[in-house]
Chains A and B, each alone.
Chain A
Amino acid sequence: MNSIDGRDSGGLNAPVAGCEDVERALRLLPRHDPGPDFAAKVMARVRTSARLRAAAAPKPPWRRLLDWLRTPQSLSFTPLQAGLAAACLVLVVGMGARLLPDGAGLPGGRADGLTPVQFALAAPGAQRVAVIGSFNNWNGTGWEMRRDPATGIWSLSTALPSGSFEYVFLVDGAATLPDPAAPQSADDGFGSRNSLLLVRGENGTRI
């Protein structure tokens, strides 16, 4: 075996001889004081190494999953795979809708259990119109309707819980008017009539 400089290192004793040369060379080097913070520097390196070792230690599965979820990923799939995934999704959603209680999940329902309701009144000459009823304690504040300038129709979209309600339109803050389009109305006890509104919610169990 040849050494780097091309000379024969000389069998089993050669390493011993090499060590002596190194020792001699080291002795010839100028002496340097390590300084008063030598120990602190060494300990700092030791602590850094410990942290690196801890970071390199195996993580629990949940931690690895969390890291994976928080890291941007690139997914690649074929159109066939994408089609199969979409079909599975449609199947699962369809099954879920069938398993829900009567009617739940059908159009018109909302997550908060309220049912969308729209009020409308043709009153082109009115300056302001509000809806007052048992759902707002007969207080029109916040229940003002909006006028469509083109048609003169006042409308208000809102959402109500399931139940039976009575209401009228309050026109220009004074006159009250039952909804001419409401199919049901009732005597209000004051000599006039209230429109009746039956709201059937998601599962229709309350009224």
Chain B
Amino acid sequence: MGRASSLAGLALAATLLAAPASAAGVPPAVAARVEAAAEQGRLAPGEAESLQRLLAGLQAAGLPTAPFAAKIEEGLAKVVPGPVMVRALERMRGDFVFARETLTFDGVVPPEAALEEAGESLRLGLTREELTALVASRGPSGAEMVARAARVQALLAGIGFPRQAAAELTRTGLAHASLSPSWGYLSKTVLQARERGIPDDRVAEAARSVLAESGSYNDFLTGIGFTTRQTREKAAVPAK
């Protein structure tokens, strides 16, 4: 750590004094980590300042701080270059702003958890058009279920499940308000079904049918020939 990094630390300290991150709901541990990264020369003073400013402005924009703080922790742990981190965080903020605007309907701002789920879904591969379409077809469902649908659709897209089929089944779930939290495991079940030779269109049809009848996820599993025991035993060793 040389003179340059000391100067960087001083510059960042001045920035923090000007706009105390902790006062804006930023976890002190994250602020300290960014500061330490600047002192160690891993982040340029301007990059650290950008991150701190971004964090400090989240609350005023009605966005949750936790996912951004976690993303910074992830970037620092992975030794991601400063400019890449700043760009990723700014893109993430754009996604969250869009998710907040889209999920604000009937004059009600979405709960933080729903906003977080929808915002993350955009990062996971859901397009903004798809999120808008989900909100438009939400039926009696609230923001939480729309966000869940967004995540289900994003995860299905991530494994190459036909996008049209995914959109149809989530729309069905929203129209009947039947997309319970267990449907969040659908992408995992699709992968297991593929291992057993069950084609995606059969899974999609079974899911759509159960959701239309407001059935449970276990009904769906039974419908494609699974038992909860089989899926749980798979889940017991999820990574090898």
Contacts and interface: CB of A to CB of B under 8 A. Distances in A.
A184 B159 contact: yes
A24 to B, nearest CB: 99
A200 B186 CA distance: 11
A1 interface: no
A132 B77 contact: yes
Nearest to B221: A204
Scoring A138, A199, A207 by chain B CB atoms within 10 A of each residue's CB, the highest score goes to A207
| Interface size band for B | 35 or more
B181 A205 contact: yes
A164 B184 contact: yes
Interface string B206-236: 0000000000111000000000110111011
Nearest to B69: A137
Nearest to A195: B239
Nearest to B235: A200
Interface stretch (A27-35, A66-74, A173-181): A173-181
A140 B77 contact: yes
B158 A199 contact: no
B185 A182 contact: no
Contacts of A107: 233, 236
Interface in B8-67: none
B239 A186 contact: no
A120 B239 CA distance: 7
Given A120-B240, A134-B70, A185-B158, A200 B75 contact: no
A182 B188 CA distance: 11
A137 B232 contact: no
Nearest to B231: A200
B229 A118 contact: no
B125 A187 contact: yes
Interface residues of A, number: 47
Given A197-B238, A205-B181, A207-B184, A176 B84 contact: no
B228 A204 contact: yes
B168 interface: no
Given A170-B77, A191-B84, A207-B182, A117 B237 contact: yes
Interface string A57-93: 0000000000000000000000000000000000000
A198 B228 CA distance: 15
Given A164-B184, A204-B182, A179 B239 contact: yes
Contacts of B237: 116-118
A187 B124 CA distance: 6
Interface stretch (B85-93, B98-106, B135-143): B85-93
A38 interface: no
A115 B239 CA distance: 12
B204 interface: no
A189 B71 contact: yes
A63 to B, nearest CB: 47
Contact of A137 (B73, B85, B180): B73
11 contacts: A116-B236, A117-B239, A170-B77, A170-B78, A181-B239, A181-B240, A184-B191, A186-B123, A189-B123, A190-B74, A205-B181
Given A118-B240, A188-B78, A198-B185, 5 more contacts: A107-B233, A108-B235, A140-B77, A187-B125, A191-B84
